[in-house]
Amino acid sequence: MPLATHALPRRSVVLGMRGLSGLLPHEARLEPEEREPLELLATEGARVLYRARGIAAGVPS
């Protein structure tokens, strides 16, 4: 089970989820400054997934 998950939103639709399965042994929890890069990755991941689905459907995005 993931330790933390983050939605991959695009245009008010959730296209998927990103999960974090664990931390390094010396870390007890995610700090606020560690969450920001994960949110940026989630946004970019959603954008890529959205475009890939458009290409697969023959509809450029």
Residue ranges of the domains in the chain? Answer: 4-21+31-56
- Predicted local confidence at residue 33, as pLDDT: 79
pTM value is: 0.48
Rounded distance, CA 55 to CA 57, Å?
5
- Predicted local confidence at residue 25, as pLDDT: 66
Span 34-52, pLDDT tens digits = 778 777 777 788 888 888 8
Span 9-18, pLDDT tens digits = 777 888 887 7
CA 44 vs CA 14, 21, 38, 41, 52: distances in Å: 13, 20, 10, 5, 12
Q: What integer best gives the mean pLDDT of the chain?
A: 76
Phi-psi region of 8 (alpha: psi -120 to 50; beta: other; left: phi over 0): beta
Largest CA distance in the chain: 47
